[in-house]
């Protein structure tokens, strides 16, 4: 949700900034802009649309400077227009600012600044903050030039309510950049002859592996290739430089048409990576390096609360099923956005776990913080190495799925399911699960990557099926037990990338309402992989057929259908029950992908969405 890059070094900034911005486009893509300090004044270029529009504009009218900031926007305040795009420029032309977050008291500040003679050309909260910095800069005329700019940013932020990750430049300070963070991510890249700021390491790794993850309430003042990190109250902070291990080529598209397809095909590797080194030597249980909680303490846990948003919330629903089944620990799943405002009764033996691909989702972070504030032990499952959620939880498990660029989550989802399965095994073996059941489960898990490899090869068959359903406007996704969350995820995938209305339900719930939707125009996708409930699911399918509904079935090899019942089938291999949710997810992802592409949708950057929701 908005991406920021800043650069101060000795090379031309524009190319470096735009390369970084391209890598952050998944965070927002309705408009973008770039500002550099050129010949003593701030030159701002903005364009509506994708970053490529901005790149085109800079090609036509190149800028020359070694210092600059840029931004790709996901609109919060004000429509998608050039005026509302960042960077904003203060009305006195002194300050330019890029910002991710929401300034909640911007109306009050705007009235105050108007009374002081500042004017506004956009509807945004960011322009208000930009003018507020300029106001303080003017007031700080007595302060020595070396610290005047940073002091004015600091003073402005003390009057701000809301969230920000920001980078600012001042027309009078050709060698200075200021960044600050509260609630929205900001990371510094520390190169040999350059310092960068960005919302995500993805924008930095092609320049430097050395990064400083800023924490809330911190401000960085960069002067030349030196920087100082302080609190807003000017207390010095010793920066911790982390070296990130990130293969830049992992984030490239390669031969694939879309990141989403690439990431679907990367699932065998991502799942292998999620398992690597996590099984015990005797092959009956699991081990995790970073839980920071002893087996003894884990045995005392009598309840687990799982919190997440979107696709990660669906992963939690599957984890609930797995942990209750294999470890016999009661689990509850909450939307993080609801949990944070609810005073849910928890007891001291409750373990709170948050799940987030990015590790930066603001609602999930807030749920984590609220749980910590109340004294609960917290764990995080995240793909975001060094992310805020990873840093703030008591312990956690990294997914190691590699960068996920497509806005629609695919490999991160199945790798969360893999981590959840391994965790269920571990917790189960700490309690009642037998050695033999443990060994059988480990064997079942180890087979997953090769089985997924076979399923992705069905892509072209699924493409042919997809073509038949391209013009539908409604879809139902139905599954029972551990397939219910997969049905929910299937419906989310289809709606977010193809804009087809889709709903997920437990198959047996259909008759309590959704059956009213069934018609020739509303196909139903059933997931039938469990022999125990097969006859019931087949009855539900027959109810659909009796109402002229088309039936697409994802089934396992041994879950055979009555002749002629399904209009289309996608068959996955038989497997250990723990593997079924992962395996069943793949055809559902591929079907959504091919339908969306056939409809001409931009699957990697669906309308109105952003990959990482860092504002509430
Ligand atoms: O990074 P997170 O896992 O915390 O993100 C949570 C959701 O915003 C995310 O899963 C969203 O629902 C995706 N667009 C799903 O494809």
pLDDT band at residue 342, thresholds of 50, 70 and 90?
confident
Contact status, residue 410 vs residue 263, Cβ threshold 8 Å: yes
Pocket mutation for ligand 1, best pick of 361, 389, 605 (most atoms within 8 Å of C-beta): 361
Give the angle subtended at the CA of 594 by the CAs of 498 and 573, to the nearest 5°. Answer: 120
Nearest to 76 by CA among 139, 137, 128, 146: 128
The secondary structure of 248-298 as a DSSP string is GGGGS-TT-S-HHHHHHHTHHHHHHHHHTT-B-TTSSSB--SS--S-HHHH
Q: pLDDT at residue 37 above 70?
A: yes
The secondary structure of 287-353 as a DSSP string is --SS--S-HHHHHH--EEEEEE-HHHHHHHHHHHHHHHHHH---EEEEEHHHHTTS-----TTEEEE
Q: pLDDT at residue 245 above 80?
A: no
Q: How far apart are CA 525 and CA 549, in angstroms?
A: 10
The reply to whether 348 belongs to the active site is no
Are 187 and 317 members of one domain? Answer: no
* CA 613 / ligand 1 centre spacing (Å): 8
Cis geometry, peptide bond prior to residue 87 (ω within 30 degrees of 0) = yes
Are 489 and 541 members of one domain? Answer: yes
Structural domain total, the chain = 3
Q: Please check whether residue 302 lies inside any domain of the structure.
A: yes
Residue 182 β-bridge partners: 164
Pocket of ligand 1 (CB under 6 A): 309-312, 356-358, 361, 364, 407-409, 496, 609, 612-613
Q: How far apart are CA 21 and CA 51, in angstroms?
A: 7
pLDDT band at residue 570, thresholds of 50, 70 and 90?
very high
Q: pLDDT at residue 250 above 80?
A: no
* CA 136 / ligand 1 centre spacing (Å): 38
Give the angle subtended at the CA of 364 by the CAs of 476 and 157, to the nearest 5°. Answer: 130
Please state the length of the chain: 616
Are 323 and 405 members of one domain? Answer: yes
Residue 615 confidence (pLDDT)? 63
Q: pLDDT at residue 614 above 70?
A: no
- What average pLDDT does the segment 435-454 reach? 97
Contact status, residue 182 vs residue 163, Cβ threshold 8 Å: yes
Using a pLDDT cut of 90, give the percent of the chain over it: 82
Question: What are the distances in angstroms from CA 333 to CA 67, 314, 337, 347, 485?
Answer: 46, 9, 12, 16, 12
Residue 348 confidence (pLDDT)? 83
Q: How far apart are CA 531 and CA 466, in angstroms?
A: 26
Q: Please check whether residue 465 lies inside any domain of the structure.
A: yes
Residue 213 confidence (pLDDT)? 94
Q: Please check whether residue 351 lies inside any domain of the structure.
A: yes
From 214, 246, 278, give the residue that closes a domain: 246
Q: Please check whether residue 180 lies inside any domain of the structure.
A: yes
Nearest to 166 by CA among 149, 186, 183: 186
Pocket mutation for ligand 1, best pick of 357, 397, 404, 593 (most atoms within 8 Å of C-beta): 357
Give the closest residue (by CA) to ligand 1 atom 4. 356
Q: pLDDT at residue 135 above 80?
A: yes
Residue 386 confidence (pLDDT)? 87
Q: Rounded to two decimals, what is the model's pTM?
A: 0.84
User: Of 336-350, 425-439, 541-555, 565-579, which gets the smallest average pLDDT?
Assistant: 336-350
Are 255 and 241 members of one domain? Answer: no
Atom of ligand 1 nearest to the CA of 308: 4
- 33 Cβ neighbours under 8 A, 6+ residues apart: 44, 45, 46, 47, 54, 70, 71, 73, 85, 86, 87, 98
Nearest to 475 by CA among 544, 555, 536, 406: 544
Pocket mutation for ligand 1, best pick of 264, 311, 396 (most atoms within 8 Å of C-beta): 311
Contact status, residue 222 vs residue 177, Cβ threshold 8 Å: yes
Are 510 and 588 members of one domain? Answer: yes
Q: How far apart are CA 39 and CA 67, in angstroms?
A: 12
Q: pLDDT at residue 610 above 80?
A: no
Are 410 and 466 members of one domain? Answer: no
Q: pLDDT at residue 515 above 90?
A: no
Q: pLDDT at residue 405 above 90?
A: no
Residue 2 confidence (pLDDT)? 86
Q: pLDDT at residue 476 above 80?
A: yes
* CA 401 / ligand 1 centre spacing (Å): 14
pLDDT band at residue 343, thresholds of 50, 70 and 90?
confident
User: Of 50-64, 69-83, 408-422, 549-563, which gets the smallest average pLDDT?
Assistant: 69-83
From 246, 278, 305, give the residue that closes a domain: 246
* CA 357 / ligand 1 centre spacing (Å): 7
Give the closest residue (by CA) to ligand 1 atom 14. 408
Are 132 and 39 members of one domain? Answer: yes
Are 236 and 265 members of one domain? Answer: no
Q: How far apart are CA 429 and CA 24, in angstroms?
A: 41
Q: Please check whether residue 390 lies inside any domain of the structure.
A: yes
Q: How far apart are CA 274 and CA 184, in angstroms?
A: 27
- What average pLDDT does the segment 334-347 reach? 87
Looking up residue 305, the CATH number of its domain turns out to be 3.40.50.10490
- 256 Cβ neighbours under 8 A, 6+ residues apart: 262, 265
* CA 313 / ligand 1 centre spacing (Å): 8
Residue 394 confidence (pLDDT)? 96
* CA 115 / ligand 1 centre spacing (Å): 42
From 246, 262, 284, give the residue that closes a domain: 246
Q: Please check whether residue 452 lies inside any domain of the structure.
A: no
User: Of 13-27, 338-352, 537-551, which gets the smallest average pLDDT?
Assistant: 338-352
Q: Please check whether residue 451 lies inside any domain of the structure.
A: no
* Residues spanned by the domain of 257: 247-446
Atom of ligand 1 nearest to the CA of 361: 4
User: pLDDT tens digits, residue range 422-439?
Assistant: 999 999 999 999 999 999
Q: How far apart are CA 584 and CA 265, in angstroms?
A: 14
- What average pLDDT does the segment 342-346 reach? 81
User: Left if phi > 0, otherwise alpha if psi is -120 to 50, otherwise beta: which for 197?
Assistant: beta
Catalytic residue among 262, 411, 545, 611: 611
Contact status, residue 239 vs residue 246, Cβ threshold 8 Å: no
Looking up residue 190, the CATH number of its domain turns out to be 3.60.20.10
Q: Please check whether residue 174 lies inside any domain of the structure.
A: yes
Parallel/antiparallel/unpaired status of strands 474-479 and 3-8: unpaired
Residue 586 confidence (pLDDT)? 98
Are 124 and 34 members of one domain? Answer: yes
Residue 616 confidence (pLDDT)? 65
Give the closest residue (by CA) to ligand 1 atom 11. 310
Give the closest residue (by CA) to ligand 1 atom 9. 310
Are 46 and 192 members of one domain? Answer: yes
Are 317 and 370 members of one domain? Answer: yes
Are 413 and 512 members of one domain? Answer: no
- What average pLDDT does the segment 578-599 reach? 98
The reply to whether 130 belongs to the active site is no
User: pLDDT tens digits, residue range 199-212?
Assistant: 989 899 889 999 99
């Amino acid at each position: 949700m908005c991406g920021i890059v800043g650069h101060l070094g000795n090379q031309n900034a524009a190319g470096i900034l735009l390369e970084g911005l391209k890598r952050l486009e998944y965070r927002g893509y309705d408009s973008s802009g770039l500002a550099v300090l050129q010949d003593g004044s701030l030159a701002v270029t903005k364009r509506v649309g994708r970053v490529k529009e901005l790149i085109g504009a800079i090609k036509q009218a190149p800028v020359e400077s070694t210092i600059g900031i840029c931004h790709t926007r996901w609109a919060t305040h004000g429509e998608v227009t050039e005026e509302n795009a960042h960077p904003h420029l203060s009305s006195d032309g002194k300050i330019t600012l890029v910002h991710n977050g929401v300034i909640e008291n911007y109306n009050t500040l705007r009235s105050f600044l108007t009374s002081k003679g500042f004017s506004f050309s956009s509807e945004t909260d960011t322009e208000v903050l930009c003018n507020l910095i300029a106001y303080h800069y003017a007031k700080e005329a007595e302060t020595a030039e070396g610290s005047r700019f940073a002091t004015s940013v600091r003073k402005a932020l003390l009057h701000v309510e809301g969230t920000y990750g920001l980078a600012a430049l001042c027309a009078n300070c050709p060698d200075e950049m200021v960044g600050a963070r509260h609630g929205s991510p900001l990371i510094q890249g520390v190169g040999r002859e350059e310092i960068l700021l960005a919302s995500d390491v993805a924008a930095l790794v092609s320049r430097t592996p050395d990064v400083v993850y800023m924490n809330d309430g911190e401000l960085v003042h960069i002067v030349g290739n030196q920087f100082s990190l302080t609190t807003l109250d000017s207390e010095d902070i010793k920066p911790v430089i982390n070296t990130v291990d990130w293969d830049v080529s992992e984030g490239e598209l390669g031969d694939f048409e879309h990141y989403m397809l690439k990431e679907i095909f990367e699932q065998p590797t991502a799942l292998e990576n999620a398992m690597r080194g996590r099984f015990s030597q005797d092959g009956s249980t699991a081990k995790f390096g970073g839980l920071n909680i002893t087996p003894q303490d884990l045995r005392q846990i009598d309840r687990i609360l799982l919190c997440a948003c979107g696709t990660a919330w669906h992963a939690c629903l599957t984890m609930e099923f797995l942990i209750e089944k294999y470890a016999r620990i009661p689990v509850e799943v909450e939307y993080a956005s609801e949990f944070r405002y609810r005073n849910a009764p928890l007891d001291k033996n409750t373990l709170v776990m948050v799940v987030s691909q990015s590790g930066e989702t603001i609602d999930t972070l807030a749920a984590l913080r609220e749980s910590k504030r109340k004294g609960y032990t917290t764990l995080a499952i995240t793909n975001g190495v060094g992310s805020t959620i990873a840093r703030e939880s008591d312990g956690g498990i990294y997914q190691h799925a590699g960068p996920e660029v497509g806005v629609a989550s695919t490999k991160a989802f199945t790798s969360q399911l893999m981590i959840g399965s391994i965790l269920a095994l571990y917790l189960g073996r700490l309690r009642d699960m037998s050695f033999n059941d443990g060994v059988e489960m480990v064997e079942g898990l180890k087979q997953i990557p090769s089985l997924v490899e076979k399923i992705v090869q069905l892509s072209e068959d699924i493409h042919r099926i997809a073509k038949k359903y391209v013009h539908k406007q409604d879809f139902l996704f139905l599954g029972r037990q551990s397939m219910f969350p997969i049905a929910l995820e299937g419906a989310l995938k289809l709606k977010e990338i193809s804009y087809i209305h889709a709903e997920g339900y437990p198959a047996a719930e259909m008759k309590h309402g959704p059956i009213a939707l069934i018609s020739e125009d509303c196909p139903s996708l059933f997931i039938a992989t469990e022999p125990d409930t097969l006859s019931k699911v087949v009855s539900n399918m027959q109810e659909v057929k009796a109402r002229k509904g088309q039936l697409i079935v994802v089934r396992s090899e041994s879950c055979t259908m009555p002749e002629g019942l399904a209009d289309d089938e996608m068959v996955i291999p038989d497997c250990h029950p723990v593997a079924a949710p992962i395996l069943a997810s793949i055809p559902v992802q591929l079907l959504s992908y091919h339908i969306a592409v056939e409809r001409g949708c931009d699957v990697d950057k669906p309308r109105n969405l952003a990959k990482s929701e860092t504002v509430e």
